Structures are given as C-alpha cells and as structure tokens.
C-alpha cells in the first residue's frame, strides 16, 4: 500500500495500531455519518415523491441559496447556532455551519466513483490536484478496508493530510493538518436505488496528538451521496460541516467554498485520466496482451474514448 511520504519527508507519528474497539468505533462513526446524510437526502425529496428537487429550488425556509450554475447550486442552513443536535464527532466544535451542494453530473455512477475513490495516499494527492487544484502532503496511517469484488470502490482509511499555502501567503498563514476517517463505496437501497458515498470526518485518537506550532489541527467533515439516475446522469448531494468559530459566513468564504465544491463535478475527467493511465501502464507491461479482465481492474479501455 502506498502510505505516502508524509510532510517534508517525515511522518511525525508512531505506526498506528488500532485496537479492536477502535476499529469498531471507526466503523460506527462511518455508519452514523452515512445514515445522517441519507436521512437528510431523503428529507429534501420528501414532498416530491422521490424525485430530486431541482438543485436551484430547495426549501427556502431551511436553506439559504448562495450560488447556482446550470448543473450545481450551493446553500447554507439558516439556523446553525451552537451545536444543536448535530452530534459532531469530538468535543471541540464551537459553532458548526452546515453547507449543502446539490446538482447533477453528466456521467454514470461508476465513472464518478472511480474519480473519487482513493485507495492510497497517492490517489488522494492526484484527486486533490485534479479536483481541488492544490497539493497535499501526508500519509495513510491505517487501512481498515479496501475494494472487494462486489464493491471495487469500497475504502475505509485513517489519513493524515497537511495543507500549506504557497509563498507569500505562507508568511502569514499557518500550515494546517487534518486527521480524517475517510470512507467510500456503493450501496443499493431497499427501493433499488444505487448510491455512491464519500464520507470524511475527524478521527480523534490519542495516538495522533496535535503537532507543535506553527502547525494547527483543522476539522474537516462532509457526507456526499451520488445517486444513479435512469437517464445515465448522477444526482449529487454533498453536505458539509464548517467550523465558523462564531463568525458569519461572508461572501469571501462562500466564494471559496463554491470554487472548491465545483471540483467534484470534474470527477469524470479524473476517471478518464485513471483509465488512460491504467491502459498505458498495462500496455507497457505486456504489449501483446488484450488486457482482458474484470471491470474492477479497469479493463474497459475500448470504451474510454467513446
């Protein structure tokens, strides 16, 4: 497994060995966030007989509309005072706000999930560069589950990520690190809906304490759902939790969040890059091979450039 090179060439933690109880807790936190996101997703469509509301017309009593383009919209929840009943993991969330990005991706679910899934830290770096247009350092500290035949997109990992501004912002902005519990996969609901999920939340473990200054430990949490639709597109629902520290989400912050979230609509391009990379690498390894195999092995190069 590609664990990653750390930050500036080092990983400042001892090898992470999780107890059975800690592994169970990680599974529980993942299921809790998935359940919370599914319930919120269902509430959005409760009055539309299961048909997703158009992304530009969510319930205005709950959601404040900020940004819209043809295939995406961004909202914030109107009441985010205190902790309410969010049950945020950890005890140091002061004033979390809930943001919501919704819309449609013109691609099939498999391509969206192929672009999103990160089985290694190398995958995470490629995803950050392609979708977020920024570099991240860090490492995969623990791998709790990986792809299986029935779900090649399944992954559950604890990751350490570091984001650092380039010069001259690095002179005034401290580097920030994140310890995250990251999960992805595809489920089929009782009604037959096929959904992909991409979940990230803080992983608070005593083995991974905050690092000395100037490093600042950040909090990152979101639950994203991608529902396969009959017309071959994907319905997108990304619920994000942002620590406001009591401040108002101003235009500058919302513009930055809008730019960041639109990167998720680029996942089909990243999927195409992964397919092409796989085809090139395997043609080099065995030029005479027809590269036959299973879908999970990406042996569908014939349809890459359809």
Is the confidence at residue 140, as pLDDT, over 80?
Answer: yes
Is the confidence at residue 165, as pLDDT, over 70?
Answer: no
For the chain, how big is the Rg over CA atoms in Å?
20
Q: Give residue 299's Cα distance to chain centre.
A: 25
- Does 136 or 114 have the greater pLDDT score? 114
Mean pLDDT of 256-282: 91
Confidence at 4, pLDDT banded by 50, 70, 90: low
Structure tokens at 44: 């959005």
User: Which of 26-35, 47-56, 211-220: highest mean pLDDT?
Assistant: 26-35
Q: Among positive and negative, which fits the CA dihedral 128, 134, 135, 137? A: negative
Percentage of the chain exceeding pLDDT 90: 57
Q: Among positive and negative, which fits the CA dihedral 134, 135, 139, 144? A: positive
Give the whole-angstrom CA distance, residue 49 versus residue 134.
Answer: 40
What is the overall mean pLDDT for the chain?
84
Residue-level pLDDT at 256: 86
- Does 4 or 178 have the greater pLDDT score? 178
- Is residue 223 within 8 A of residue 34, CB to CB? The reply is yes
- Does 159 or 250 have the greater pLDDT score? 159
Is the confidence at residue 198, as pLDDT, over 70?
Answer: yes
Of 98-107, 151-160, 285-294, the poorest mean pLDDT is in 285-294
Confidence at 82, pLDDT banded by 50, 70, 90: very low
Residue-level pLDDT at 294: 45
Residue-level pLDDT at 166: 53
Mean pLDDT of 211-227: 92
- Is residue 19 within 8 A of residue 137, CB to CB? The reply is no
Residue-level pLDDT at 289: 55
Mean pLDDT of 233-249: 84
Mean pLDDT of 193-201: 97
Structure tokens at 109: 């679910």
Residue-level pLDDT at 164: 65
Q: Checking DSSP bridges between strand 137-145 and strand 221-228, what pairing results, if any?
A: unpaired
Is the confidence at residue 106, as pLDDT, over 60?
Answer: yes
Other residues' Cβ atoms within 10 Å of the Cβ of residue 242: 19
- Give the residue from 1, 2, 6 showing the smallest Cα distance to 162: 6
Domains of the chain plus CATH, in order, are: 20-267 (3.30.530.20)
H or E element that contains 140: strand 137-145
Residue labelled with tokens 């569908």: 300
Beta bridge partners of 217: 177
Is the confidence at residue 302, as pLDDT, over 50?
Answer: no
Residue-level pLDDT at 132: 78
Residue-level pLDDT at 133: 75
H or E element that contains 104: strand 96-105
Residue-level pLDDT at 263: 94
Confidence at 292, pLDDT banded by 50, 70, 90: very low
């Amino acid at each position: 497994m590609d664990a990653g090179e750390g930050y500036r060439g080092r990983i400042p933690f001892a090898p992470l060995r999780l107890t059975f109880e800690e592994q169970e807790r990680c599974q529980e936190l993942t299921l809790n966030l998935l359940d919370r996101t599914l319930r919120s997703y269902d509430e959005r469509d409760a009055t539309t007989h299961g048909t997703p509301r158009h992304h530009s017309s969510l319930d205005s009593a709950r959601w404040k509309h900020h940004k819209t383009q043809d295939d995406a919209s961004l909202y914030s929840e109107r009441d985010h005072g205190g902790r309410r009943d969010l049950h945020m993991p950890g005890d140091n969330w002061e004033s979390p706000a809930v943001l919501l990005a919704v819309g449609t991706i013109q691609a099939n679910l498999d391509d969206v999930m192929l672009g999103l899934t990160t089985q290694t830290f190398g995958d995470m770096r490629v995803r950050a560069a392609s979708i977020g247009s920024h570099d991240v350092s860090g490492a995969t500290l623990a791998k709790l589950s990986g792809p299986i035949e029935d779900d090649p997109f399944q992954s559950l990992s604890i990751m350490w990520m570091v984001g650092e501004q380039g010069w001259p912002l690095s002179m005034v902005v401290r580097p920030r690190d994140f310890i995250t519990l990251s999960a992805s996969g595809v489920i089929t609901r009782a009604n037959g809906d096929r959904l992909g999920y991409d979940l990230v939340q803080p992983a608070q473990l005593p083995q991974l304490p905050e690092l000395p200054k100037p490093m600042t430990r950040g909090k990152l949490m979101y639950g994203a759902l991608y529902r396969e639709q009959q017309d071959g597109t994907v319905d997108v629902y990304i619920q994000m939790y942002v620590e406001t520290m009591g401040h108002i989400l101003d235009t500058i912050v919302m513009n930055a969040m809008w730019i960041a979230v639109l990167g998720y609509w680029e996942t089909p391009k990243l999927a195409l890059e992964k397919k092409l990379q796989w085809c090139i690498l395997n043609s080099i390894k065995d030029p005479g091979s027809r590269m036959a195999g299973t879908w999970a092995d990406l042996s569908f190069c014939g349809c890459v450039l359809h």
